[in-house]
Amino acid sequence: MKPSEIFRHFGAFPLLAVFLAIAPALMQIGVLTEFHINLLTYGIVFGLAGLAFNILLGYGGLLSFGHAAYFAVGAYTVAMLYRYLKIENLEILLVAAILTSMVVSTFFGLVATRFTRIFFAIISLALTQVVWATTLKMYWITGGSDGIRVPHMALLGIEFQKTMNRPEYLASVFYYYVLGVFVLATLVIWLIIHSPFGRALQATRDNEVRAEFIGIPVRRYRWIAFIISGTFTGLAGALFAVLNGHVTPEISDWIFSGNIVFLTLLGGFRVFDGPLIGAIAFIFIRQYAMGYTIYWELVLGAVLIALVLIFSKGIMGTLYHYLGLTPGMPSLKTPAITIKANIPIQALKERG
C-alpha cells in the first residue's frame, strides 16, 4: 500500500502508533519523562472510550450523554472483582468487564434506542445517573464516595506487581499492555465501521426514513451499535481502573460523560482518528491548564463553545479539510427531509 493510501484508510493512526510505541524508549533517553508516559496512557485509555463513543455519534448520528455508565461499569467490575474475589489476573478482569458492560449496554440500549436525538441524549443521561446513584449510595458494595483502590495487576500471567513498584510498572509493561489492547480494539472497531453493518449504520444516520425504506431495521441496528459502543467503553473503563489505581463514583456521572463528548468533539467526530487525538490533547491540556489556574472548567467550557461555534470539525477534521482529504466524513443529521403528503389547504384551516 502506498503511504497516501495508508493515510486515506487509517488516517493518522499508523504515525501515532509508531510514536506511541517508541514513547517509553524516548523516556529512557530523556526526551520524555515518566509523567508524560503516564499522561499518554490516560490519553490512550480515554482515546478508546472516545473511539467507542464515536461509533454512536460520528457513525450512528446519536449523541449520548451517558457513556460514563459503561466506563464505570467496566472500572467497577475490575475493582470489585479484585476486592471481593482477590483476582489479580488482568485478562480475567478485562473479560469480566467486557461481559458486564455488554450486559448493561444491552439493557440500557434497549431503552435508549426507543428514542432519537434529544430524547436519546436525555434518556442516556438519565441512565448514567442511575449508575451514578448506585455507585454512590450502595456504599457497602461499591465503597460509596470513597471508592475502591485497585493495585497493579498481573499481565499475561506474569506477576509484575511482585517485582516492580507501581510507577515502574505503569511506565513500562502496563503502558505496552494498554497500547496493545488499544490497537487490537481499534482494529476491531475499524473493521466494524467498514463492514456492511457499519455502512448501513451510517445510512441510518444520514437518512433514517430512506434507510427504513430500503428495508434496514433502523432501531435494531442502533441497538447493536449501542451495545458495541458500550462494551468497548467498558473495556476502557477497566483499563482505567488499574491505571488510576482508584475508582470513584464520579466516573459514572453525566459530567464525566460530557468529558467524553468533549474530547471526541475536540479531536473531530467526523473522522476515525479524531477521538484518539482529542483524548491525548484533552489529557495534556487539562494537566497543564490545571497547573496554571483553578478555573479549569472555564477553559473546558470556553473551548467547547468555540468548538461548537467555530471549529466543529475538531482538530483532525479541520486538518483533513485543509489538506483537501475526505476520509469518509460522517456528520450529525441536519434537519431531515421526509416524505410530505400535500394535505389540502381547506383541511389545514379546518384544523385551525
Partner 1 sequence: MEGGQRPILRTVGLKKYFGEVRAVDGVDFAISPGEAVAMVGPNGAGKTTFVNVITGYYMPDGGKIYFDGRDITHHSRIKKIKLGIARSFQLVNLYEQLTCLDNLRVAILSRERISHVFWKTLDSYRNVTEEAFEVLETFGLKDKASVLASELPGGMRKLLDVAVAYALKPRVLLLDEPTTGVASREKHDIMKIIVKAIKDKKIASLIVEHDMEIVYNYADRAVVFFEGKIIAEGKPEEVLENAEVQEKLLGVRV
Partner 2 sequence: MIDPSIFLISLFNGLLYASVLFLLSSGLNLIYGVMRIINIAHGNIFAFGAYACVWLLIFYGIGTLPAPAWYILPPLLGGVVAAAIAMVIEPTLLRPVYKRPEEFQLIMTFGVLLVLVDLMLMLFGPLPLAAREPYFAMGVVDFGGINYPVYNFLIISLGIAVAVFLWFLIYRTRFGIMLRATSLDQTMAQAMGVNVRRLMTTTFAIGAFIAGIAGAYLAIKDTATLTLGINTLVLAFIVMVIGGLGSMKGAFVGALIVGYLRVAVTLLYPEAELMLLWLVTAGILLARPQGLFGGR
Residue 341's binding partner, choosing from partner 2, partner 1, none, with beta-carbon cut-off 5 to 8 A by kind? Answer: partner 1
> What does the DSSP 8-state code read for residue 251?
G
98 binds partner 1 (CB under 8 A): no
Binding letters toward partner 1, positions 152-191, x by CB under 8 A: ---------------------------------------x
What does 350 bind: partner 1, partner 2, none (CB cut-off 5 to 8 Å by kind)?
Answer: partner 1
Concatenate the DSSP letters of all residues of 193-212 into one string.
Answer: HTSHHHHHHHHHHH-HHHHH
Rg (C-alpha) for the chain, rounded Å, is 21
- Nearest of 260, 243, 257 to residue 94 by alpha carbon: 243
State the nearest-atom distance from the C-beta of 117 to partner 2, in Å: 6
Query: What SS3 class is residue 149?
Result: strand
Length of the chain equals 352
Choice between 108 and 175, CB closer to partner 2: 108
Nearer to partner 2, 139 or 213 (CB): 139
Q: Confirm or reject binding of residue 300 to partner 1 (CB under 8 A).
A: no
**DSSP class per residue in 274-302:** HHHHHHHHHHHHHHHHHHH-S-HHHHHHH
- Comparing CB distances to partner 1, the nearer of 157 and 344 is 344
Phi, then psi, of 78 in degrees rounded to 5: -60, -50
Q: Considering only 28-36, 75-83, 158-166, 340-348, which stretch makes contact with partner 1 by CB under 8 A?
A: 340-348
- Per the CB < 8 A criterion, the answer to whether 26 and 32 are in contact is yes
- Among partner 1, partner 2, none, what does residue 297 contact (CB within 5–8 Å per kind)? partner 2
- Interacting residues toward partner 1 by CB under 8 A: 191-192, 194-200, 202-203, 205-207, 209-217, 221, 224, 228, 326, 329-331, 334, 337-345, 347, 350-351
